[in-house]
Amino acid sequence: MATPTGTLVVVPFEGDFSLRDTLKSGQIFHWEEIAFGGVEGYAGCIGDGPPAFVTQGESGVVRTLAPDGERVARYFGLDHSAASVRAAFPDKDLILADAIAFCSGIRVARQPLWECLATFITSSLKQVSHIRAMSLTLRSRFGERHAFAGRDFHAYPTPEALASAGEAALRECGLGYRAKSLHLAASAIASGAFDLAAVEAEPSLARAREQLLTLHGVGDKIANCALLFGAGHWDAFPIDVWIERILRDLYRKRLKGAKLQAWAEKHFGPHAGYAQQYLFHFARKTL
């Protein structure tokens, strides 16, 4: 892929978008705030390619370095209409309406599925700052290095790289017990024993989730996060402590486990994952 040049190009999109809110919404963990050519923005690797630089001014206009316009648009979900997503939500859900009003600019990112799955495998019982630290450490030790704006950026390590590294080396990155799960998942994918491409191509949320659940250390929440943020399954609805709290306290739902999952997917509809992001960010910032 061509190295980005110093020319900033506009990335067109419809509806609301907040670059900062999207990057801070608990789905992406490795982007850095930097200045490039005197312009403040964010930079991060998209997959195994070189870093992209993205900036958004007070006017809301998004710019990136040429020739990154299309990949930035796809990565941040700017190639679809936020209005069409919201049109599928239940029209009398005032709780969701309040959450959307609070953070209407959040988009669901399309990350590489392996990178997304691996990151959420390491996220179990960790705060966002800890997940970010582990991601950056894994990237710096085992990922491909790219130089940009006088700094080093690293792509997420491939399954082959982490399988070869071994569990002990992954523990040295601060993963603790998560190192075993990450190493086993990487090894299964690298060896061909687990077909991640088939999961990504599976149109059924239930079947795709069922396949991911066969990996060591992957439960419902991790599987749903990977499918939502990495496989384009906008019908996936990850449930963590924040979402469970908002469903219990605001929606008055006393369901648990699979029953709560089924209710949420049915209630919020084909774009339930978008509803989850609005509610998740709203809950973290206000409850």
Is the domain covering 90-103+232-287 a CATH 3.40.50.1220 domain? no
Kindly indicate the confidence band of residue 186, based on its pLDDT and cuts at 50, 70 and 90: very high
Tokens, residue 216: 């060591």
Q: Which of 98-102, 126-130, 132-136 has the lowest mean pLDDT?
A: 126-130
- Give me the architecture of the 113-227 domain, per CATH: Orthogonal Bundle (1.10)
Average pLDDT over residues 244-272: 95
Which residue in 45, 34, 40 sits closest to 1, CA to CA?
45
The answer to pTM > 0.75 is yes
pLDDT at 271 over 80: yes
Q: Report which DSSP code applies to 61.
A: -
pLDDT at 1 over 90: no
**Listing from the earlier edge strand, what are the strands of the sheet with 62-65?**
8-10, 62-65, 51-56, 39-45, 32-36
Q: Report which DSSP code applies to 271.
A: G
Cα distances (angstroms) measured from residue 286 to each of 27, 51, 89, 171, 252: 18, 33, 22, 35, 18
Expressed in angstroms, the distance from the first to the final Cα of the chain is: 43
Q: Which of 195-199, 257-261, 281-285 has the lowest mean pLDDT?
A: 281-285
pLDDT at 42 over 80: yes
In angstroms, the CA 220 to CA 229 distance is 14
Where in the chain are the domains? Answer: 8-79, 90-103+232-287, 113-227
pLDDT at 100 over 90: yes
pLDDT at 31 over 90: yes
Residue 6 has a pLDDT of 80
Kindly indicate the confidence band of residue 10, based on its pLDDT and cuts at 50, 70 and 90: very high
Residue 3 has a pLDDT of 62
Average pLDDT over residues 161-169: 98
pLDDT at 127 over 60: yes
In angstroms, the CA 44 to CA 264 distance is 32
Query: Which percentage of the chain shows pLDDT scores above 90?
Result: 91
Q: What is the pLDDT of residues 78-91, one digit of tens each?
A: 998 999 999 999 99
90-103+232-287 shares its CATH topology with 113-227? no
CA angle 218, 219, 225 (to 5 degrees): 85
Q: Which of 4-18, 42-56, 150-164, 167-181 has the lowest mean pLDDT?
A: 4-18
Residue 2 has a pLDDT of 55
Give the CB-side neighbour count of residue 206, counting CA atoms within 13 A.
4
State whether residue 148 is helix, strand or coil. Answer: strand
